[in-house]
Amino acid sequence: MNVRKELFEIPGALQQMREEGLPLYDALVRRVSWSEKPVFILGDGPSYPAALSGAWAFESLLGVPVVVERPGIFTAYTSRTLAPRSLVIVLADPHGGEETLAAARKARSHGAIVWAITPDSASELAASADGAISDYSGGPAAEGGRAVFCRYAAMLFLAASAARVLKAHGKSTRAQEEDLAKIGVHVDWVLNQISDAAGALAKEMAPLPGVYVTGGGAFFPVALQAASRLRQVGNFPALGFELLDFEQSCRQISQPGSGILYLSSSRCGLRSQAHQSVREMRQQGNRKIFAVTDGNDRPLADRADIAILLPVLTEAGSALLTLVFLELVASYAHQTPLRPSTRRQAAKP
């Protein structure tokens, strides 16, 4: 399916998630005591960044500690730490995921409560779980922009549902929930109003020897996902980094002449660290600096060579919009000719 056509399906999928999914999410939340901590979230392959996003959401909105693991590691090691009635959330792997299924069964054998987030309610993973949560991604083998976005959205909506049902409300939690309720409108704005900006950013990045995508908090999983999609869809030599890792060490290995793409917002909990990082990278010079943030984040936007300004939302809402925008960038990158030397680098695993 055409990448952009898939992206235009997102607002409809979000509406379906809100109308059909939220009541089911609420019902599942009420069936868990939430006395056993931490919560475990398992994801592999394309689902791993969404698992990280879920960890951020549960910790930020609900105040619950979370352990994120890949299914194989969980089965071999982490499962030994489970207590009876621990909650294990397993994200389906679109590549099939025998290890994912084995991890779910291992968790059940330890007396854990298992939720499966899957596009296929008839799958073996769904059957092995105590509760199956649809991610509305469009099908069991879906891997495109809609599937990527819906996995993230399902994790954020689930955490917001838990915060509401368990009355973990604070000012920030209510604001996040309000933004998620309106996120479809903002997604539509990104797809229809700033599509040209996505194409321009893809064209600017095309001749660079490498692009380092970095973000903190809710933007770290988006950075990983965006780098992966830029490699897969756009054939770009892109790598994703957690902001503090990049700040402390990875920026020292970034190639001269490469590009650095900062993902943040004026409400990101790590925005000051992003500002410090971009100041230092600007002083070093010889690198192209890009930013996707919002109009209130002037310390980041003003130091970037090119800044894309999204609406001012909470951290969760901004991260979802950034994800959509970078899916658009990847779709344009697919159509943008790369220099021969860059194409060879991008083809490396």
Residue 116 region by backbone torsions, left for phi larger than 0, else alpha for psi between -120 and 50, else beta: beta
Tokens of 216: 């903190």
Fold of 3-181: Rossmann fold (3.40.50)
Asked whether residue 213 carries a pLDDT value surpassing 90, the answer given is: yes
Query: Matching CATH topology for 3-181 and 188-346?
Result: yes
pLDDT of 104 strictly over 90: yes
CA distance 299 to 308: 13
Mean of pLDDT over the chain: 89
Half-sphere exposure of residue 297, counting CA atoms within 13 Å on the CB side?
A: 34
Buried b / exposed e across 23-59, counting CB within 10 Å, b at 16+?
A: ebbeebbeebeeebebbbbbbbbbbbbbbbbbbbbbe
The tens digit of pLDDT for each residue in 146-174 reads 899 999 999 999 999 999 898 876 656 77
Look at residue 236 in the predicted model and tell me its pLDDT: 86
**Domain locations in the chain?**
3-181, 188-346
Instruction: Kindly state the average pLDDT of the residues 111-127.
Output: 93
pLDDT at 305: 97
For 217, the token pair is 């908090």
CATH class of the domain whose range is 188-346: alpha beta
Please tell me which residue, 211 or 4, carries the higher pLDDT value. Answer: 211
- Among the residue ranges 236-245, 249-258, 301-310, the one predicted with the least confidence is 249-258
Nearest C-alpha neighbor of 315 from the set 256, 257, 263, 278: 263
Residue 344's pLDDT is what? 34
Higher pLDDT, 46 or 198: 198
- Give mean pLDDT, residues 135-140: 78
Name which of 251, 324, 265 is nearest 299 in CA terms.
Answer: 265
List residues bridging with 288 in a β-sheet: 259
Alpha helices in the chain (DSSP H): 3-7, 10-16, 22-30, 48-57, 71-76, 98-109, 124-128, 145-165, 171-181, 183-193, 195-205, 219-232, 243-248, 271-284, 298-301, 315-333, 340-346
pLDDT given at position 250: 65
Instruction: Indicate if the pLDDT at residue 274 is higher than 90.
Output: yes
pLDDT (tens digit per residue) in 293-345: 999 999 999 999 999 999 999 999 999 999 999 999 999 987 765 444 443 33
Q: Which residues are paired to 47 by β-bridges? A: none
pLDDT for 252 equals 64
CA distance 210 to 5: 28
